[in-house]
Structure 1
Amino acid sequence: MELTLPDEPVALAPGVPTRVPVQLRNPYAQPLDLRIYLARGRAAGWATVEPAGLHLGPGETAEVSVVLQTPPTQPPSSSLVPFTVHAEEATTGEPAGFATALLKVALPVPVTGKLVPKDGPQHEYDLRLANDTRVQAPLRVTAQLDPSSGSVTVEPEAVLLEPGTAAVVAVRAKPGRPFTGSPRSFAVVVKVADAYDADREPYLTLVASGTRKSRVPTTVLFVTATVLAIGASAAILLTGDHNFLPFGKKNAAGTSTAAPAKVTIGKPYALVDVFPHRGADGGKGAADAALAKLQAAGMPVRLVDSLASDTLADDPDGYWVLLQDGFGSPQAAEQYCTQWRSAAPKCKVTP
């Protein structure tokens, strides 16, 4: 007689019945009348077999269920408990076969959920939650983007689900948009956890994926570059101006506006503050004012253009970044932030 039980341990919630399927197959040429039972042990007191007896003809298969239900007061435990299901011939009591599996008593998962894209708005989702248990479910919902470029919000961030009720949480993602190139893939990772037990593993982890188009399609860049190159060649041939620079802008002295010189930043470094390249002066005035204020307080810090660094993350417009590097360890950088916390409350360490 062949018996098959689940390979993974069976998780039981205290007081909640759990049905475990048992597959049986009669490989013999004669029919069998069988009685199914659990071997003596801790799990046997929690188990009922449905049906407890069956008839199997030659080569036939069938399924019975072992219904396991612990007392409601049974404390959860991470230890695994073995249980063995036996089959014996009903008329003679002769053993026909057995199979063993594992179980553990765990806290119940009081919520089910599904992440559904909204009709219309792009990168917006409904997180549909339901509590089918008999206990309250205080929940905390968080979300993040992978890769992390961009932003994502959830509303509301906390939900109290009463037994038998449901709720919908709005998830709005704004993934970072590449400046050029092919559309970039991203994922929205949503986690639903116990609102009061931060150390407990999340009840649910749900993922939605999508793509974000670039600001400037590759074909547009190619056409633009081709037109500029043709125009530059024509200008050189017609005017003889071999200093003509199609991608630069001459100033009054006849020189071109160059890209910022590359800056090297050592890791770990302390990120003090960030100013977007916006406004008439590209944000430089605000960044210089913040730099002067910190230096006047005696804080060692420097100002770096993110477009001049391969280390700093930026969007196509770039940022002015106040930072300090040259630390021997992340701990030293952390001490720097702690020392200057009153002057630079946003200071954080980037390893």
Structure 2
Amino acid sequence: MSLTASLDASTVSAAPGAETAVPLQVRNSGTTVEEYRFEVVGACAAWAAVEPAVLSLYPGDSGTVSLMLCPPRDATVPAGETPFGVRVVPTGEQGETVVPEGRVTVLPFTETTAELVPRGSHGARAGRHQLAVDNRGNTPVTVRLGAQSGSERARVVFAAPELHVAPGKAEFARLRVRPVKRMLRGTPVTHPFQVFAATQVAEGQEPVEPILVDGSYEQEPLLPRWLPRALITAAVLVLALVGLWYALLRPAVKSAAREAVTPEAVRSAAAADKSKAPEQGGSGGSGS
């Protein structure tokens, strides 16, 4: 074979967001001038390149190119070991390719964000929120949840004390803000609060600062502010209806009753009573 190629290091570590160079030695053992191009194969091909892209060598000469590894700093490339190869392709028609192989270990990194949804809540008994935790790193994380001390008039309670979030995913933690004392009536009171999301890291890794998120809960009275006015309005309306009855409707009813009792009506009622009396007497005699 007129072509030989080898990597200076078959195993290498690469930090996300940074460039790592791996030298690749190429030797032309043939008898003619040869030009070579390079192709990276494997999962890291999307974030790797060879510089320079083309190398020309005289017979018996050697040259060096650099395999540049630059994994992105996001969740698309998980932390861990990935195999790769560099195909060295002679541009001549009779050339044979060689593929030196290696393994790259993508180092882990942690990047977590948190957001409170909604930022503000209101209610007489409790306020309801969700804390959205987004893992933008390349390794799974466990996030511990809690509330900062500071407000003695309201308590923050999480449904779960921690979240497990996969790379590139978001998880939601439910929480409630409960007032220490309930308020029967009065002006709504705003309780500011602060929650945190602390990412737990493996032993030996640099600790990560907890994420602090501010929120507020507006405590409303159990009796709505409009209720006293509504009760007063209803009482006034009832009194007005009663006054209307005594002032207008009741006299009209009495007048109608008096007009109905006329002399003709009295005589008619008396005649009806007299006609009923003989009938009752006759029926009594036939029975004996």
Fold match by TM threshold 0.5: no
Bigger relative contact order, structure 1 or 2 (CA pairs below 8 A, ≥6 apart): 2
Query: TM-score by structure 2 length?
Result: 0.35
- Compare the two structures and name the one with the higher helix fraction: 2
